[in-house]
Amino acid sequence: MGIIGGWDEGLWAIVPTIAVSLLFWFVMRAILRADRTERAAQARYEAQLDARILAEQEVRAADGRDGGSMPLDGSTQRPSR
């Protein structure tokens, strides 16, 4: 029996479980934060790309060169008729 009537043995039995649980919590928290940050960065990039494409289409429309929608691949060739 331990110093405090067996409680110390029970405490030492549960300490590894608590330690592994805390480690799991920290790892999952880091993964979720990284995912959230990556999604925000991807959304910013896509918004900038959409704004650039829209601006290019507006310039073409203002110049009277717009023959329809801009191809998704970014090419400047017009489709043959």
> With a cut of 50, which residues of the chain have pLDDT below it?
none
Query: How is the chain split into domains, by residue range?
Result: 20-61
- Report the C-alpha gap between 51 and 67 in whole angstroms: 20
Torsion of CA 16, 20, 26, 30, to 10 degrees: 160
* Residue that is written with structure tokens 């896509």 in the block: 46
What pLDDT score was predicted for residue 80?
Answer: 59
What pLDDT score was predicted for residue 69?
Answer: 58
What pLDDT score was predicted for residue 10?
Answer: 84
What pLDDT score was predicted for residue 38?
Answer: 98
Residue 9 near residue 2, CB atoms below 8 Å: yes
Contacts of 50 (CB under 8 A, 6+ apart): none
